[in-house]
Amino acid sequence: MKPYALFKKDYHSELRTRYAINSLVMFIIVALSVILFSIGNEKIPQNLTAGLLWVVIFFSAMSGLSRAFVSEEERGTSLILHLIAAPTTIFSGKLLFNLILVFLMNIIITILYSVLFEEFIIRNFLLFFLTFILSNIGLAIASTIIAAIISKAGAKGTLYPVLSFPILLPLILISVMLTSYSMVGTSFADAVIELAVLACYDVIMLTISYMLFDFIWKD
Amino acid sequence: MNKHFLNAEKLTKKFGRRLIFKDLDFKFLENGIYGITGINGSGKSTLIKIIAGIISPSSGKIVHNLDDKVIDEEKLHNYIGFVAPYLIMYEEFSAWENLIHISNIRGIKFNKELFNSLLDDFLLLNRKNDIVKTYSSGMKQRLKFIFALMHSPTILLFDEPTSNLDNEGKETVYRIINREGKNKIVIIASNERSDLELCSTKIKLEDYKK
């Protein structure tokens, strides 16, 4: 229950400060508008449609998900967390917050994307649903641990996407591929290997994050 | 009465090549008020952070014992009360909301009577529902003492405890330090003469620079 209490604190803090939500919403609107205006009346191929969806998701995540640790560091409140909870509790609480934020953000992005882009038609919904779930979990885990790493650095804003890109690249590539598959209507059996890779990515990231967090957090 | 013992062995801290202190040994076996003193930049805050388990020493170790059992590093935060000028409470919340969130994260019962009495002791009861951002620096400092005492810790670490406090605030803090020092280990890191007068034993960090 301690991680949930930390999540609740972050949730109430977010409602008061709007540290992440405002930047996320603005980024989603701007990114989708730019893509929409640049495409105009052109018909875009399916794999490009899937790729653009993940471009919006990746950069939106970069604009808001670092707040988990960066806001504590910037406001100088991370010392309180050191004094009231164990590192695992802190990571779990921050991960829970980022998981919910990622899911909410990506549900909104996907809905807006499907409304604005008529080429974005999902033919294998179950495949897309599983891709969406596994990708979001991976994105939340990776974003949370990267946020913890960069929170103590000087140029946080620049470092976050730079460090995230190589770590998130396998996730993004497979997510784009699986989104294309679900748009084409590829059967579930033909996409099992890619889904398994995505699930492995999540498990590896989660394990590494819990193993590393103690060291990152302490000094 | 708790039996929290503290034992530091060959503590050395370096930041890069800069030596902060070297081979620092001390044992605090009895309840009482202990002092850490030294000129600005001598490493008082660093030492108190090492004692609190917030940062690690470069070499050596510090062991906390409670009732003859070593306290696990993961659980050390449950036994420590900490006040410092660089400790910042959540300013978007009121004092009361801070206490609610912190006690929930700590996993302790929200003790309304205790918190009200602490707020009363530190003259914040009338302002407990105001956002911390609106507090003066002295009021914020007094709130930190409530944060430090809210979970009934077995050791208290105070880094410059009277900074930003007026005379009334200082008197309250000294009264509480004297009260807590009778049944706990209280460690004060300070250069203020009046703070150090409370201490029975003092560690001078200048003695551990070579």
pLDDT of residue A131: 93
Q: How big is chain A by its Cα radius of gyration, in Å?
A: 18
Categorize the per-residue pLDDT at B133 as very low, low, confident or very high, splitting at 50, 70 and 90: very high
pLDDT tens column, A107-138? 999 998 888 888 888 888 899 999 999 999 99
Q: How confident is the model at residue A80 (pLDDT cuts 50, 70, 90)?
A: very high
Structure tokens at B157: 């670490």
**Position B103 pLDDT exceeds 70:** yes
Q: Give me the mean pLDDT over the B162-190 stretch.
A: 89
What single DSSP character describes residue B57? -
pLDDT of residue B22: 86
DSSP helix/strand/coil, B34: strand
Per-residue confidence (pLDDT) for residue A5, from 0 to 100: 93
Least confident of A21-30, A150-159, B68-77: A150-159
Confidence of residue A150 (pLDDT cuts 50, 70, 90): confident
pLDDT reading at A219 higher than 70? no
CB within 8 Å: A9 and B54: no
Nearest Cβ partner of B105 from A9, A17, A218?
A9
Please report which confidence band the pLDDT of residue A97 belongs to, taking 50, 70 and 90 as the band edges. very high
**Per-residue b or e along A117-147, where b marks 16 or more CB atoms closer than 10 Å to that residue's CB:** bebbebebeebbebbbebbbbbbbbbbbbbb
Residues in chain B: 210
Q: Are A58 and A162 in contact (CB under 8 A)?
A: no
Residue contact A83–B92, C-beta within 8 A: no
Structure tokens that stand for B19 in this block: 């030596």
Give the pLDDT of residue B30: 85
For the cut 70, the answer to whether the pLDDT of residue B200 exceeds it is yes
Closest CA–CA distance from residue A76 to any residue of chain B (Å):
6
What is d(CA A202, CA A204) in angstroms, rounded to the nearest whole number? 6
* A30-52 average pLDDT score: 84
Q: What DSSP string describes B133-180?
A: GGS-HHHHHHHHHHHHHTT--SEEEEESTTTT--HHHHHHHHHHHHHH
CA distance B185 to chain A (A): 17
Domain ranges, ordered by start, for chain A: 3-218
State pTM to two decimals.
0.89
Chain B residues with CB under 8 Å of a chain A CB are 52, 54-56, 74-75, 77, 80, 82, 84, 86-93, 97, 101-102, 104-107, 147
For position B1, what pLDDT does the model report? 61
Distance from CA of A81 to the nearest CA of B (A): 9
What number of residues does chain A have? 219
Confidence of residue B88 (pLDDT cuts 50, 70, 90): very high
Number of C-alpha atoms within 13 angstroms, CB side, residue A19? 19
**Closest among B79, B73, B81, B88 to A86, alpha carbons compared:** B73
Q: Is the pLDDT at A157 greater than 80, yes or no?
A: no
Choose from A39-43, A161-165, A182-186, B155-159 the range with maximum mean pLDDT. Answer: B155-159
| B72-88 average pLDDT score | 90
Cα distances (Å, whole numbers) of residue A193 to A132, A142, A167, A198, A200: 16, 21, 20, 9, 10
Average confidence (pLDDT) over A17-41 = 84
- Reply yes or no on whether the pLDDT at A140 is more than 70: yes
CB contact under 8 A, A13 and B102: no
Q: What is the ipTM of this complex?
A: 0.88
